[in-house]
Amino acid sequence: MLTASVGDTLLSRGMSQVGPVDLHHLGLLLHALTNINVIAGILLLIGFFASYTTALSWADLTFVMPATAFGYVVIALLSRFWLHEYLSPYRWAGIVLIVCAVGFVANGPSRTDHPDLDLMDSGVGR
Amino acid sequence: MNSAHIFHQWSAILFVVVIAIIGECLIAAGMRGLGDLDRFRTRPGLSGYLGPVRAVLSNPLFLIGALCMALNFFAMLYTLSIVELSLAAPAIASLTYIGNTVAAKLFLHENVDRRRWLAALFVCAGVVLLSK
């Protein structure tokens, strides 16, 4: 959960440095590939995707999804305390809701036990 | 803004959501089938990670899922060109959360108890509030 949310945060930081890409100037995309920020963004994207898929190998999708949503909270807090952006009461309420959601799933089991599947690859189920 | 334009916008949003749900479920199914990735490690050290990477990249369910996610990315770019970001981002994120929860229960047979439903709904509401 931590690697995924940190990866998510780093990714959004990398991509925000890239800036907006206009759909009507697709040639810019090729030029953007030479940008160090874009390369960092792509590497971070791969890192996030790898940690996300690894998490899916030992946990349920419905467990991993809300857990990675914690990345939204980290992004919001980073923008508040690092970029000094203003967070409206709505956003604080949103942060509280997502923290609650992560708390819900974190207290429960991370994986549904499938007897037939666990028989197939014994020792894998947790 | 006429109704045809609104229909066009929501069709694009729904397409992005559906393709994301299919991709996520396929990747989750593929990874679940693989199980513990440590089993594929051939030797200790960094080069030992090549085994798990090869196992994941040769999994057909994972590959089709990854293709769906790539398609999702380009569909998202198209959607953002016709729908405002303040509508598209929360709509896509929250619909994907709900859709994924339903799909995980139906197709992956995950045990979606009341706690997980609440978590999905709270994340949706949270995402909508964050985008305000």
Q: What is the pLDDT of residues A38-68, one digit of tens each?
A: 666 667 777 777 878 888 887 788 777 777 7
- Shortest distance, CA B4 to any CA of chain A (angstroms): 23
The answer for A 32-71 residues in CB contact with B (under 8 A) is: 53-54, 56-58, 60-66, 69
Q: Indicate whether B50 pLDDT > 50.
A: yes
Query: A11 near B65, Cβ under 8 Å?
Result: no
B132 to A95: CB separation less than 8 angstroms, yes or no = no
* Concatenated DSSP letters of B68-125: HHHHHHHHHHHHHHHS-HHHHHHHHHHHHHHHHHHHHHHTS-----HHHHHHHHHHHH
At a CB cut-off of 8 Å and minimum separation 6, what does B63 contact? B30, B57
Helix (H, G, I), strand (E, B) or coil at A20: coil
Q: Indicate whether A118 pLDDT > 70.
A: no
Give the per-residue pLDDT at B31: 87
What phi, psi does B40 have (nearest 5°)?
-90, 0
* CA-based R_g, chain B, Å: 18
Q: Indicate whether A23 pLDDT > 80.
A: no
Torsion of CA A104, A105, A108, A111, to 10 degrees: 170
Considering only residues B29 and A123, tell me which one the structure prediction assigns the higher pLDDT.
B29
Q: Contacts of residue B41 in chain A, CB cutoff 8 Å?
A: none
Give the per-residue pLDDT at B17: 93
- Shortest distance, CA B1 to any CA of chain A (angstroms): 22
Single-letter amino acid, residue A15: M
Q: Contacts of residue A64 in chain B, CB cutoff 8 Å?
A: 28
Give the per-residue pLDDT at B63: 93
A19 touches chain B (CB under 8 A): no
Helix (H, G, I), strand (E, B) or coil at B132: coil
pTM, two decimals, is: 0.73
Q: Which tokens belong to A65?
A: 């999804």
B87-120 pLDDT, tens per residue?
Answer: 788 888 888 888 888 888 888 888 778 888 888 8
Q: Contacts of residue B121 in chain A, CB cutoff 8 Å?
A: 101
Give the per-residue pLDDT at B97: 84
Q: Indicate whether A115 pLDDT > 50.
A: no
Interatomic CA distance for residues B112 and B104, integer angstroms? 8
Considering only residues A108 and B69, tell me which one the structure prediction assigns the higher pLDDT.
B69
Mean pLDDT estimate for chain B: 84
Interatomic CA distance for residues A108 and A122, integer angstroms? 23
A71-102 pLDDT, tens per residue?
Answer: 777 777 777 777 677 778 888 888 888 888 87
Query: B47 near B68, Cβ under 8 Å?
Result: no
What phi, psi does A70 have (nearest 5°)?
-60, -25
Q: Contacts of residue B95 in chain A, CB cutoff 8 Å?
A: none
Give the per-residue pLDDT at B18: 95
Q: Indicate whether A2 pLDDT > 70.
A: no
Considering only residues B117 and A70, tell me which one the structure prediction assigns the higher pLDDT.
B117
Give the per-residue pLDDT at A18: 53
Single-letter amino acid, residue A88: S
Single-letter amino acid, residue B70: A
B28 to A61: CB separation less than 8 angstroms, yes or no = yes
B32 to A56: CB separation less than 8 angstroms, yes or no = yes
Average pLDDT over residues A22-46: 63
If you ran DSSP here, which 8-state letter would residue A111 be given?
S
